[in-house]
Chains A and B, each alone.
Chain A
Amino acid sequence: MVITPIHYIVVPLIAAFAIPLLSKIHKELFRIVPGIVMFYNIIISFVLMKEVNEVGYISEIIAGWEAPWGINLMITPFSGFLASLISVLGFLIWLYQYRFKKVIDVDEIKSYGILQMMMITGAIGIIITGDIFNLFVFMEIVAITAVSLTSFYRGRDGAEAGFKYLLIGGFASALILLAILILYTQVGTLNMAEIAEKMHTIPLGIKSTILILFIVGFGIEAEMFPLNGWAPDAYSQAPGPTSAAFAGIVVKAGIYGLIRVIYTLFDIEGAFDFLIIAGLVTMIIAEFSAVKQKNLKRMLAYSSIGQMGLVLIAFGIGTKTAVFAALFLMFNHAIIKSLLFMTGSILMYNSKDKTISSIHGIAKNLPFVSIMFAIGAFAIVGLPPFSGFWSKLYVLTAAADKEMIMLIIAILGVSIVEIVYYFRVVNKLYFATDIEHLDIFKPSNNSLIAMGILTITIIVIGFYPDLITGYLHNAADILLDRSSYIDFVLKANVPIQ
Chain B
Amino acid sequence: MQEEFNEIFLKYHDIISLGVYGTAIGLILIGLYAVLMKKNLVKIVIGLTIIDAGIHLLFIGIGYINGGTAPIFSPGYEDAAKRMVDPIPQALVLTAIVIGFAVTAVALSLVIRLYKHHHTAKIDQIKSLKW
Contact = CB atoms under 8 A, between A and B. Distances in A.
A233 B55 contact: no
B41 A161 contact: no
A133 B110 contact: no
Contacts of B92: 133, 180
Given A163-B41, A170-B48, A178-B55, A233 B110 contact: no
A166 B110 contact: yes
Interface residues on B, range: 20 to 34
A181 B62 contact: yes
Contacts of B65: none
A380 interface: no
A162 to B, nearest CB: 5
A148 interface: yes
A174 B51 contact: yes
Contact of A160 (B52, B103, B114): B114
A370 interface: no
Contact of A174 (B52, B128, B131): B52
A486 to B, nearest CB: 21
Given A159-B113, A163-B111, A163-B114, A137 B95 contact: yes
B129 A144 contact: no
B112 to A, nearest CB: 9
Contacts of B126: 160
- Of the listed residues B52, B55, B110, the one surrounded by the most CB atoms of chain A closer than 10 A to its CB is B110
A147 B106 contact: yes
B67 to A, nearest CB: 20
Nearest to B59: A181
B96 interface: yes
Contacts of B37: none
Contacts of B117: 157, 159
B44 interface: yes
Interface in B25-81: 28, 35, 41, 44, 48, 51-52, 55, 58-59, 62
B107 interface: yes
B88 interface: yes
Interface in A147-186: 147-148, 151, 154, 157, 159-164, 166-167, 170-171, 173-174, 177-178, 180-181, 184-185
B10 interface: no
A177 B128 CA distance: 32
B54 to A, nearest CB: 9
Given A140-B103, A166-B106, A171-B35, A154 B48 contact: no
A137 B113 CA distance: 26
B16 interface: no
Interface string A116-138: 00000000000000000100010
B113 to A, nearest CB: 4
A144 B103 contact: yes
Nearest to A161: B129
Contacts of B131: 229
Given A144-B102, A157-B128, A233-B129, A177 B114 contact: no
A237 interface: yes
B99 interface: yes
A170 B107 contact: yes
Given A177-B96, A229-B131, A237-B129, A163 B55 contact: no
A363 interface: no
A190 interface: yes
Q: Which of B96, B102, B128, B131 gathers the greatest number of chain A CB atoms within 10 Å?
A: B96
Nearest to A133: B92
A157 B89 CA distance: 39
A27 B20 CA distance: 54
Interface string A208-248: 00000000000000000000010001001100000000000
A184 B89 contact: yes
Given A154-B113, A159-B114, A166 B62 contact: no
B130 to A, nearest CB: 8
Contacts of A161: 129
Contacts of A229: 131
A122 to B, nearest CB: 12
B99 A140 contact: yes
Interface of B: 28, 35, 41, 44, 48, 51-52, 55, 58-59, 62, 88-89, 92, 95-96, 99, 102-103, 106-107, 110-111, 113-114, 117, 126, 128-129, 131
25 contacts: A137-B95, A143-B103, A144-B106, A147-B106, A147-B110, A148-B106, A151-B113, A157-B128, A159-B117, A161-B129, A162-B110, A163-B41, A163-B107, A170-B48, A170-B103, A170-B107, A171-B35, A177-B55, A181-B59, A181-B62, A181-B89, A184-B89, A185-B62, A190-B88, A229-B131
Interface of A: 133, 137, 140, 143-144, 147-148, 151, 154, 157, 159-164, 166-167, 170-171, 173-174, 177-178, 180-181, 184-185, 190, 229, 233, 236-237
A-B pairs, 7 with minimum CB distance: A159-B113, A157-B128, A163-B110, A140-B99, A233-B129, A170-B48, A159-B114
